[in-house]
Amino acid sequence: MNKLILAALAGTLAHALPTSAQTAEKIDAAALAKIRDEGMNRSKVMETAFYLTDVSGPRLANSDGLKRANEWTKKQLTQYGLANANIEPWGDFGRGWDIEKSYVAMTAPYYHTMVGAPKAWTPGTPGALRLPVVVMKAATTEADLDQYKGKLKGKIVVMNVPNPPKNAEGPDLKRYTEEELAKMAEPAAPRPAANTPDEAAMAARRAQAALRTKMTDMLMSEGAAAVLSARGGIYGTFNTTNGAPYAADAKPVLPEIEMTPEDQLRLIRLVEAGIPVEVEMETKTRFQSQDVKGYNVVAEIPGTDRKLKSEVVMLGGHIDSWHAATGATDNAAGVAVMMEAVRILKATGMKPRRTIRIALWGEEEQGLHGSRNYVKNNFGDPATMKLLPAHEKLSAYFNLDNGGGKIRGIYAQGNEAIAPIFAEWLKPLVDLGATTVTLRNTGSTDHIAFDAVGLPGFQFIQDGLDYFPQTHHTNQDTYDRLIADDLKQASVVVASFVYNAAMRDQKLPRKPLPTPVKPAQ
Amino acid sequence: MNKLILAALAGTLAHALPTSAQTAEKIDAAALAKIRDEGMNRSKVMETAFYLTDVSGPRLANSDGLKRANEWTKKQLTQYGLANANIEPWGDFGRGWDIEKSYVAMTAPYYHTMVGAPKAWTPGTPGALRLPVVVMKAATTEADLDQYKGKLKGKIVVMNVPNPPKNAEGPDLKRYTEEELAKMAEPAAPRPAANTPDEAAMAARRAQAALRTKMTDMLMSEGAAAVLSARGGIYGTFNTTNGAPYAADAKPVLPEIEMTPEDQLRLIRLVEAGIPVEVEMETKTRFQSQDVKGYNVVAEIPGTDRKLKSEVVMLGGHIDSWHAATGATDNAAGVAVMMEAVRILKATGMKPRRTIRIALWGEEEQGLHGSRNYVKNNFGDPATMKLLPAHEKLSAYFNLDNGGGKIRGIYAQGNEAIAPIFAEWLKPLVDLGATTVTLRNTGSTDHIAFDAVGLPGFQFIQDGLDYFPQTHHTNQDTYDRLIADDLKQASVVVASFVYNAAMRDQKLPRKPLPTPVKPAQ
C-alpha cells in the first residue's frame, strides 16, 4: 500500500505517515497540558520503580517477588483511586521457585569468588560441594557426548561459553538519531514472498534439541554433581534464563549456575592448560506447588460517557522479570510508566468517556502467558478466531516493554488507518522527542497477544539506552539503570495517548481480522 | 625552551619534537625487521599473560599469587636464555594476605547474592554472620559520628557510596585520535609559578584523615560486626583497595567487604525507606608474617661490547596487582610485553652492546615500593641525592603500565635532548601507530623512581582502551580484556627501543640532576 508517504510534520521534527486524506483528530490541548504538568512536576514514577525493583525484588514468574509486586501494585492502584483493582488468575502456569542461597567460588589452583546465580527452576546442591571440574564442549553429535561417558561422576561440569564477553560498540547509552527515526517512518519495502519452510534447518534444530535432552539425561545418569554455564555478558554481567521446565511434573535436572563468561572462561582456560581446577558451591532453591496459577493485575478508571463507558482503552506491560536482578528495565520501567499514566489521569481529575483499564501481565518471560491468556479468556482465541463479546468493545491496547528509554514514537503494527491518527496525537508531544509513527511491526512483547486476534495492540518506540547488551536479562538490570527524565517523558506520552483514545468519538480503526493460526508447538 | 617546534615527520603521521639541529641516529633496519618478524609472527605474549593472570591469580603485594608469579617469571626468563634471573628482596614491606573465602548476600527483605571482595589486609568474619544492617553516612564532623553511638553494636555497617555507578561516556574501547596525539606533541604551555601550598586545603585533608581514624576506632569500640563499603564501578564492577595497613604492627580493624555500588545502593535505599535489611556474610582471610620482605624479579641479557657491557639499559613494569581480579591490564599486560621484548631479543639472536636488564617490580600499588627501593639500593637516594657508582652506568629505563593498549609514542618526561632521538627511533614504527613524542611528564608508575634521581626513565603513551572506568583496579581486570594485537605491537616497539638504546654509541642524554627532595610524609 504505497499511498503512504514520508512526511515530516510541518515545522516539527516529526516523522510520521499520514495518508493523503487529512484526518481531523480533536485534541484537548488544555487536558494534555494538565497531564504534562502533573507528569513532569509531580511525578511518582521513580518511587513506583523503587517499590517494583528494590522492595519487591526479582519477580520471576510465580515467585515470592512477583507476589509481593502484585500485592503492592493492586494496593497502589487502589490508592490512586482506580476501581476494580484485582489480581486475576489467568490459568495454570507451573511451579513457583525462589533462590535462598547462591555461592560459587574457584578453590584451586587458588581462591576466587565467582559471580553467578542458579538457573531458574533448577534444584539446589545437597549442601556445600567442593569438587574437581570437567570442561564439556558443545556437542554436535552423539559421539561428541559419548567421549564424556565415565568421566563426569562426582564432577562439577563446566559448559563451553558460546558468547565470550565483548566490549560494547558505541556508547553505553544509545538514543535514536533523527536520521534513524526518519528511516523507520519510511514505507517498508514489500516483504519477499513467504518461502517454503526450510525443512533442513528445522530438522537440524530438532536434532540439536534432541541432543541437548540427551546431554541433560547423560549428566544425570553419569552422576555429575552440578553444572556451571554461561551464555554471554559484558564486564562481569551475566545473562539469566531458565535451566529446567517450570511444569509441576518436570523431569529432575542437576543444580546449575549461570555465571559471568569471564569466570567461566578462566575455568576453561585453566583446565585446557592441564591445571587441576576445583570449585566450591552451595545453592539452595525453593519450589512451591500449592499455587501453580499465573496472575495479572488489572484495575480500571471507569468511563463516564453513558454510551461509551462499556468500551475500553487498555494499557499495560509485564510485571514479571528474570531472577538475577530486579528487572528494572525489563520491565519495572514499563509498569512504573503505565501506573504513572493512570495516576496522572486520576490526579488531574480527567473524566474519560471510555473505561481505561491497566493490566500488568504475569509470566511474559516464559512466552507472553499473562497477556495471551487474558486475551483468550476475554476477547478471543487466535487458534480458532472464535471471538467473545468484549472483542467488539476494545478500542486499543498500549504496551511498554523495550527498556527504560523515553518514547520516540509508536509502531503502528501495519495498521495503515491508524497511522495518521497517531501522527496527529504526536504533534503536541514533538517537543518531548516523541515524533515518529512507523508502520513496522515489532514483536516479543504483550501487544502481540492483542494483534493476534485482530485487536489494535501497540508498543511504543523507545530509546535503547543500555538495554543491549548491559541490562536485558542480566544480573545488572537494577534500579540504578533507570533515568527519571526518560520515565517522566514516557508517562506523559502514554497518558496523552490513552486519554485521546478514551475521548475519541470512534473507537480506533482495526486491521482486517486475521485467519486462525495454530499456536507454535 | 621554545626552540622546539611541532613537526609531523615528512611523509608520515608521526607527531614528534625534533630540535632544529638534525640528529643522526644510526638505525639498524635489518635488526628491527627481525624483531618485528619475531614479535608479530611467533609471539608468546598472550601465553605469558595467561600464566601471569589466570595461572598465578591475583598478585597483591606479598601474597601467594605474587609469589607464584615471581617464581614463574624467574623460571621463564631463564628459559628464554636470560642470565642472572633472580627474585631480589628490596627491603621490608609488611604482612602477606590472601582471601580464602568471600561470600556476602542480602537475606532480608529477600535473598540476593551480592558482588564484592574483602578489602586488602582486613580480617575475616568470625564464621558466618547474619545480622541487621545500619547505614552510616559520610561524616564531616565529630558530631556526625556521635549520632551513631549506641547504634552499631552487632550490626553490619553499610557505608555511603561516594561514586554512584555512571554509564561510560563514549565507546568502551578508547584509542587516541591523530588530533589528540598532535596536541600531545605540542610544546607544553609554560607552567604557572608554583603556588604557595594551600594551607587551608591541607589542613582540611588532615582533619578528614583524623576523622576517618576516629570513625574506624568508633566502629571497633562500639562493637559493630563488619563493614560493607563501595567506591565506584560500572555495571556490576567494583573497585578494590586496601582496608587496613599492611604493617606487621597495624591496629586491628573490622572485617570489610568492598562491593558493587549497585548492591550497596540497594541496601541504602531500602534502609532509608524504613525497610529492615539483613545481610549474611562469611569471609576468611589469611595473614602471614614469616616473610615480610618485598621482592623484584630481575634478569639480564649480558652486553657483548667490551667497553659498553658494564652499562645497562633497563626495561620493566610492576608485576603486583590488586586482589579482586587477576590484574590483566594493571599490569600483567606491561609485564607480558616486557618479558616478550627480551624473549624477542634472545630469540632473534641479538648481541646488544650494553647489558639489557628487565625488572618486574613488586609492591607498586602501595607506592612504587619495588622500584623506589631498587633505585635507592642501586643508583641513589632522592632524599639526599647521594649517588652510587651504578648511577653513571644506566642509559635509560623503559616502563609499561598504562593498561593493555598498544603504544602510540612515548613521554619524554621533560628531557629535551632525548626527544629528537626518540623521534628518530619511532620513524620505523610509524606504520604500527607508534608516532608521538611528547615532552610532557606522566606519573603514577615506576619510571618516576628513576626520574627522581635524575636517571632517564620513561613510560610509553598507550591507547586507553577500557582502562577507565572498566578495568583499572576493578574486579573485572581479567585476561578477557587483553587484545593480542595490541600486546604484540607493544612488544615490538619496546624491543626496538631497548635494542636501539643498547646499541647506541653514547648513553642517552640526561636532564640536570634534581635537587634532593624529602619523600612525602
The CATH number of the structural domain formed by A43-93+292-409+447-503 is: 3.40.630.10
The answer to whether A270 faces chain B, any CB pair under 8 Å, is: yes
Sole residue written with cell 539452595: A284
The answer to whether B46 faces chain A, any CB pair under 8 Å, is: no
Q: Which residues contact A299 (CB under 8 A, 6 or more apart)?
A: A74, A77, A78, A82, A83, A84, A85, A86, A342, A357, A358
Sole residue written with cell 610544546: B187
Chain A residues near residue B476 by CB distance under 8 angstroms? 235-236, 262
pLDDT tens string B377-408: 999 999 999 999 999 999 999 999 999 999 99
The answer to whether B109 faces chain A, any CB pair under 8 Å, is: yes
The answer to whether A165 faces chain B, any CB pair under 8 Å, is: yes
Secondary element (H or E) of residue B278: strand B278-288
E-assigned strands of A13-171?
15-16, 83-92, 96-108, 112-113, 116-118, 129-136, 156-159
Distances in whole angstroms, Cα of residue B323 to Cα of each of A71, A133, A471, B287 = 43, 23, 27, 14
DSSP for A142-211, written as a single string: HHHHHTTTTS-TT-EEEEP-SS---PPSSBSSB---HHHHHHHHSPPPPPPPPPPP-HHHHHHHHHHHHH
pLDDT tens string B183-205: 999 887 655 544 566 788 889 88
CA distance A55 to chain B (A): 7
Q: Which of B409, B384, B382, B413 is nearest to B396 (CA)?
A: B413
Q: Which of A60, A103, A474, A480 to mutate to test the interface with B (most CBs of B within 10 A)?
A: A480
Chain A residues near residue B235 by CB distance under 8 angstroms? 234-237, 466, 470, 476
Q: Do A102 and B113 lie within an 8 Å CB cutoff?
A: yes
pLDDT of residue A17: 52
Chain B residues near residue A100 by CB distance under 8 angstroms? 111
pLDDT of residue B20: 43
Q: Which of A23, A17, A13, A30 is nearest to A349 (CA)?
A: A30
Q: Which three cell numbers stand for residue B133?
A: 544492617
The answer to whether A464 faces chain B, any CB pair under 8 Å, is: no
Interface of A with B in 480-509 (CB under 8 A): 480
Confirm if A219 and A157 have CB atoms less than 8 A apart: yes
Q: How far apart are CA B141 and CA B490, in angstroms?
A: 49
Q: How far apart are CA A199 and CA A417, in angstroms?
A: 37
Would you report the helix, strand and coil content of chain B in percent, each value rounded to 5? 35, 20, 45
CATH class label, A99-186+198-286:
alpha beta
- CA B330, B336, B337, B339 torsion-angle sign: positive
Numbered ranges of CATH 3.50.30.30 in chain B: 97-176+198-288
Q: Do A270 and B172 lie within an 8 Å CB cutoff?
A: no
Burial class of residue B268, CB neighbours in 10 A (0-12, 13-18, 19+): buried
pLDDT of residue A521: 47
CA distance B3 to chain A (A): 41
Q: Which of A242, A231, A328, A320 is nearest to A285 (CA)?
A: A242
| Residue B370 pLDDT grade (very low, low, confident, very high; cuts 50, 70, 90) | very high
pLDDT of residue B169: 66
Q: Which residues contact B499 (CB under 8 A, 6 or more apart)?
A: B28, B31, B32, B35, B345, B350, B352
Nearest CA in chain B to A275: B55
Query: Architecture of B97-176+198-288 per CATH?
Result: 3-Layer(bba) Sandwich (3.50)
CA distance B328 to chain A (A): 12
| DSSP 8-state symbol, B174 | B
Sole residue written with cell 603513551: B461
Confirm if A399 and A318 have CB atoms less than 8 A apart: no
Nearest CA in chain B to A263: B478
Q: Which of B327, B257, B172 is nearest to A235 (CA)?
A: B172
Q: Do A261 and B480 lie within an 8 Å CB cutoff?
A: yes
Chain A residues near residue B239 by CB distance under 8 angstroms? none
The answer to whether B166 faces chain A, any CB pair under 8 Å, is: no
The answer to whether B479 faces chain A, any CB pair under 8 Å, is: yes
Q: Do A172 and B173 lie within an 8 Å CB cutoff?
A: no
Q: Using alpha carbons only, give the angle A325, A405, A464 rounded to the nearest 5 degrees.
A: 85
pLDDT of residue B117: 97
Q: Which three cell numbers stand for residue A24?
A: 481531523
Q: Is residue A450 left, alpha or beta, with left meaning phi > 0 and alpha meaning psi from -120 to 50?
A: alpha
pLDDT of residue B254: 96
DSSP for A451-490, written as a single string: HTTT--EEEEEE--BTIIIIITTBTT-SGGG--HHHHHHH
Percent of chain B whose pLDDT exceeds 70: 92
Distance of CA B2 to the CA centre of its chain: 33
pLDDT of residue A273: 97
CA distance A481 to chain B (A): 9
Q: How far apart are CA B112 and CA A54, in angstroms?
A: 11
Q: Which three cell numbers stand for residue B335?
A: 609485564
| DSSP 8-state symbol, B521 | -
Q: Which CATH superfamily is domain B7-93+292-503 in?
A: Zn peptidases (3.40.630.10)
Average pLDDT for B94-103: 98
DSSP SS3 for B370? helix
Sole residue written with cell 558466618: B128
Interface of A with B in 84-103 (CB under 8 A): 98-103
DSSP for B399-417, written as a single string: E--S-SPPEEEEE-TT-TT
Q: Which three cell numbers stand for residue B127?
A: 564464621
State the complex-level ipTM.
0.93
The answer to whether B190 faces chain A, any CB pair under 8 Å, is: no
pLDDT tens string B463-496: 999 999 999 999 999 999 999 999 999 999 999 9
Residue-averaged pLDDT of chain B: 92
Q: How far apart are CA B214 and CA A448, in angstroms?
A: 60
Interface of A with B in 382-421 (CB under 8 A): none
Chain A residues near residue B266 by CB distance under 8 angstroms? 54, 326, 478-479
Q: Which of B38, B39, B226, B23 is nearest to B127 (CA)?
A: B226
Instruction: Kindly report the number of other CB atoms within 10 A of residue B43's CB atom.
Output: 20
Q: Which of A328, A319, A298, A271 is nearest to A53 (CA)?
A: A328
Predicted confidence pLDDT, tens digits, chain A (521 residues): 223 323 333 334 456 555 444 558 999 999 999 999 999 999 999 999 999 999 999 999 999 999 999 999 999 999 999 999 999 999 999 999 999 999 999 999 999 999 999 999 999 999 999 999 999 988 888 899 999 999 999 999 999 887 788 766 677 888 999 999 999 998 876 555 445 667 888 898 898 889 989 999 999 999 999 999 999 898 899 999 888 889 989 999 999 999 999 999 999 999 999 999 999 999 999 999 999 999 999 999 999 999 999 999 999 999 999 999 999 999 999 999 999 999 999 999 999 999 999 999 999 999 999 999 999 999 999 999 999 999 999 999 999 999 999 999 999 999 999 999 999 999 999 999 999 999 999 999 999 999 999 999 999 999 999 999 999 999 999 999 999 999 999 999 999 999 999 999 999 999 999 998 765 54
Chain A to chain B Cβ contacts (< 8 Å): 129
Confirm if A9 and A422 have CB atoms less than 8 A apart: no
Q: How far apart are CA B324 and CA B477, in angstroms?
A: 8
CA distance A166 to chain B (A): 9
Q: Which residues contact A408 (CB under 8 A, 6 or more apart)?
A: A176, A181, A433, A434, A435, A436, A460, A461, A462, A463
Confirm if B495 and B344 have CB atoms less than 8 A apart: yes
| Exposure letters A102-117 (e unless 16+ CB within 10 A, then b) | bbbbbbbbbbbbbbbb
Q: How far apart are CA A211 and CA A145, in angstroms?
A: 9
Distances in whole angstroms, Cα of residue A422 to Cα of each of A18, A40, A341, A425, A464 = 9, 22, 18, 5, 21
| DSSP 8-state symbol, A444 | S
| Residue B9 pLDDT grade (very low, low, confident, very high; cuts 50, 70, 90) | very low
Cis peptide before A331 (omega within 30 of 0): yes
pLDDT surpasses 70 at B340 = yes
Q: How far apart are CA B504 and CA B76, in angstroms?
A: 28
pLDDT of residue A9: 35
Q: Do A102 and B98 lie within an 8 Å CB cutoff?
A: no
pLDDT tens string B229-280: 999 898 899 999 888 889 989 999 999 999 999 999 999 999 999 999 999 9
Q: Do B54 and A270 lie within an 8 Å CB cutoff?
A: yes
The answer to whether A113 faces chain B, any CB pair under 8 Å, is: yes
For helices A484-503 and A29-41, the axis angle rounded to 10 degrees is: 150
CA distance A271 to chain B (A): 10
Nearest CA in chain B to A63: B110
pLDDT surpasses 90 at B14 = no
Q: Which of B72, B235, B260 to mutate to test the interface with A (most CBs of A within 10 A)?
A: B235
pLDDT of residue B208: 86
The answer to whether B272 faces chain A, any CB pair under 8 Å, is: no
The answer to whether A20 faces chain B, any CB pair under 8 Å, is: no
| Residue B168 pLDDT grade (very low, low, confident, very high; cuts 50, 70, 90) | low
Numbered ranges of CATH 3.50.30.30 in chain A: 99-186+198-286
Q: How far apart are CA B160 and CA B9, in angstroms?
A: 52
Confirm if B408 and B436 have CB atoms less than 8 A apart: yes
pLDDT of residue A55: 98
Alpha helices in A391-466 (DSSP H): 419-426, 447-451
Distance of CA B180 to the CA centre of its chain: 23
Residues in chain A: 521
pLDDT tens string A63-88: 999 999 999 999 999 999 999 999 99
